[in-house]
Chains A and B, each alone.
Chain A
Amino acid sequence: MISFDRVSKRYPNGREALSNVTFNINTGEMVFLTGRSGAGKSTVLKHIALLERPSRGTVLVNGKNTSTLKARHIPAFRRGIGVVFQDHKLLADRPVYDNVALPLIVAATPLKEVDKRVRAALDQVGLLGKERMLPYELSVGEQQRVGIARAVISKPPLLIADEPTGNLDPDLALEVMRLFRRFQDVGVTVIVATHDLHIVREFGQREIVLDNGQVQGGAADSLPSVMATR
């Protein structure tokens, strides 16, 4: 599903955010991306969502080389990826319904279908009945779940999350992680960047550790793709 081959990313200011990163993630896997702040977790996710392109090396996502993908194919590429952010990036002036529906609207889904799927997605994250509320009327945990509903509504084969539990208390964090695992259960590839080692241990999924822009321990490829520890 995802393959990083000797990927380096150097920013114009000279800072090297990733150096020689290599790993593979198979379809249907759930993987934790861990490491200290600034280790390069977010940069890896940005490369997957094509918010960045590598300075050197190759990133393949679903068989597509992100370095050679033409600009006009980027929207379709991004529709295949659900992204969850720590700050959830909801539109403050739009009700929950509109926020969740956005990925379907940009994909020109018929409105009847949109309605059905928004309700289904909100039901999945336990927010049914809050369609007309504005994001700031919800709790932080609920806002995060709106972000998750938006990320999964178009049923993308790949779900990536950047510190999705960063602002949540431990109980809520566990709940959100269970939600992610349910998506993995139905075949979605899930990548979660987190510095919450407690959660990583709790779920016991494969872990890719980053430090200073490099993959630690060389374990990235060595684990089997099907989780023995589950």
Chain B
Amino acid sequence: MSLSVASARHTQALLGSIGRLSRNMFATTLTLLVIGLALALPMALRLFVVNAQTATGDFADAVDMSVYFKTDVPLAKAQQLAADARQRAEVAEVTVIPADKALEEFRTYSGFGTALEALKDNPLPHVLHVRPKAESTSPAALETLHRYFTAWPEVDIVQVDSEWVMRFNAILEVLRRLLVIVAVLLGAGVLAVIGNTIRLEILNRRAEIEVTKLVGGSNSFVRRPFLYTGVLYGLGGAVLAWLIVEAAVAVLSQPVANLAQLYGSTFVLQGPSDADIGLLLAAGTVLGWLGAWISAARHLHSIEPRA
């Protein structure tokens, strides 16, 4: 079979499949809708996780560590130790907050201004604000850093403000796992829907398949239009899922922007990226092809011509 003849055959099978699908518009639409919704759900969940991470991104990574010196440690010593800490690979930034400045701020913002006037000495110690690098915020890395600071004799206490961040990241991790589970289950659902649709189609066209085999049509020739039908279902469903997700993003973006503004954020709801869309379309195509192939392998062999 020459290449041009082969491609003409494929074009013919493809056009035949499109023709049959469009002749049964109602049934085709229902099937596409089921596949589209099944594919839209994991994509929506993925967008939720991505957006939640972006929205909180500024502080999700901001694991702070406050190092409180003993009150008798002089500022010069604190600054020297801060310079040491800056040499460490896992440290992004160290800010020295001198006791005087801390008291000043406390006086301004706390409302205890007059009460503080009564104090003879500044009761506050010098403090270091340490921000680890983003890649060093794992519990183990934080623990190492914690031990580094507590080992200094000048240090009173080291406080890690990371518990809620870790909880939040754990929630995101649970959602990510959930996303995988949902995607696998709904992918299997799509496979079943397409497989069953193709099975019905094969049974409907039994007579045609018998005659085709009778005049010497090979299994691959008989299978081809069904594979195209499966791919069209999968790809069509994926496109529909894409539209559903984009529509949902469009509907949600304004209220989300308002909400973000109330929190003083400029966060904008993100739609699916090009990579997301590519993955969605590829998943639809592969599931469609696979569902049709399984169904065809299962049912076509049992149809043999009888005279």
| Interchain CB contact under 8 A, B216 and A89 | no
**Smallest distance from the beta carbon of A116 to chain B beta carbons, Å?**
15
Total residue contacts A-B, CB cutoff 8 A: 66
> Which among B6, B8, B208, B214 is the interface contact of A78 at CB below 8 angstroms?
B214
- Cα distance, A106 to B221, chains bound together (Å): 7
| Interchain CB contact under 8 A, B307 and A78 | no
> Is B213 in contact with chain A by the CB < 8 A criterion?
yes
Closest to A78 in B: B216
- Cα distance, A108 to B207, chains bound together (Å): 21
> Is B9 in contact with chain A by the CB < 8 A criterion?
yes
> Which among A46, A92, A109 is the interface contact of B307 at CB below 8 angstroms?
A46
**Smallest distance from the beta carbon of B46 to chain A beta carbons, Å?**
43
Q: For A89, list chain B residues within 8 Å (CB).
A: 207, 210-211, 214
| B201-242 CB contacts (< 8 Å) to partner A | 207-208, 210-219, 221
| Interchain CB contact under 8 A, B215 and A79 | yes
| Interchain CB contact under 8 A, A106 and B307 | no
> Is A187 in contact with chain B by the CB < 8 A criterion?
no
| Interchain CB contact under 8 A, B215 and A78 | yes
**Smallest distance from the beta carbon of B306 to chain A beta carbons, Å?**
7
**Smallest distance from the beta carbon of B5 to chain A beta carbons, Å?**
5
Q: 1/0 contact trace for A139-158 toward B, CB 8 Å?
A: 00000000000100010000
> Is B305 in contact with chain A by the CB < 8 A criterion?
yes
**Smallest distance from the beta carbon of A179 to chain B beta carbons, Å?**
19
B8, B216, B221, most chain A CB atoms within 10 A:
B216
> Which among A51, A77, A106, A110 is the interface contact of B217 at CB below 8 angstroms?
A106
> Is B140 in contact with chain A by the CB < 8 A criterion?
no
> Is A227 in contact with chain B by the CB < 8 A criterion?
no
| Interchain CB contact under 8 A, B215 and A103 | yes
Q: For A78, list chain B residues within 8 Å (CB).
A: 213-216
> Is A159 in contact with chain B by the CB < 8 A criterion?
no
Q: 1/0 contact trace for A81-104 toward B, CB 8 Å?
A: 001010001111000000000110
Q: For B174, list chain A residues within 8 Å (CB).
A: none
- Cα distance, A76 to B1, chains bound together (Å): 13
**Smallest distance from the beta carbon of A219 to chain B beta carbons, Å?**
26
| Interchain CB contact under 8 A, B217 and A75 | yes
| Interchain CB contact under 8 A, B215 and A150 | yes
| A146-185 CB contacts (< 8 Å) to partner B | 150, 154, 162
Closest to B12 in A: A105
> Which among A51, A72, A92, A102 is the interface contact of B212 at CB below 8 angstroms?
A102
- Cα distance, A49 to B217, chains bound together (Å): 14
With A91-B208, A91-B211, A110-B5 given, is the CB distance from A75 to B307 under 8 Å? no
> Is A128 in contact with chain B by the CB < 8 A criterion?
no
> Which among A46, A103, A111 is the interface contact of B216 at CB below 8 angstroms?
A103
**Smallest distance from the beta carbon of A59 to chain B beta carbons, Å?**
15
> Is A42 in contact with chain B by the CB < 8 A criterion?
yes
| Interchain CB contact under 8 A, A42 and B307 | yes
> Is A209 in contact with chain B by the CB < 8 A criterion?
no
**Smallest distance from the beta carbon of B73 to chain A beta carbons, Å?**
87
**Smallest distance from the beta carbon of A88 to chain B beta carbons, Å?**
10
With A78-B216, A106-B217, A106-B221 given, is the CB distance from A162 to B307 under 8 Å? yes
| Interchain CB contact under 8 A, B208 and A83 | no
| A104-127 CB contacts (< 8 Å) to partner B | 105-111
| Interchain CB contact under 8 A, A108 and B214 | no
| Interchain CB contact under 8 A, B305 and A108 | no
- Cα distance, A102 to B222, chains bound together (Å): 12
Q: For A215, list chain B residues within 8 Å (CB).
A: none
| A6-49 CB contacts (< 8 Å) to partner B | 42, 45-46, 49
Q: For B211, list chain A residues within 8 Å (CB).
A: 89-91, 102
**Smallest distance from the beta carbon of B297 to chain A beta carbons, Å?**
14
| Interchain CB contact under 8 A, B307 and A85 | yes
Q: For A91, list chain B residues within 8 Å (CB).
A: 207-208, 211
- Cα distance, A111 to B211, chains bound together (Å): 20
A sample of 10 cross-chain residue pairs with beta-carbon separation below 8 angstroms, ordered by A number, consists of: A51-B214, A75-B217, A78-B214, A85-B307, A89-B210, A103-B215, A110-B8, A111-B8, A154-B215, A162-B307
Q: Name A's B-contacting residues (CB within 8 A).
A: 42, 45-46, 49, 51, 72, 75-80, 83, 85, 89-92, 102-103, 105-111, 150, 154, 162
Query: Given A51-B214, A78-B214, A105-B12, list of 7 further CB < 8 A pairs?
Result: A49-B214, A77-B216, A78-B216, A83-B214, A106-B212, A107-B216, A108-B1
Task: List the 3 closest A-B pairs by CB distance, nearest first.
Answer: A79-B216, A106-B217, A78-B216
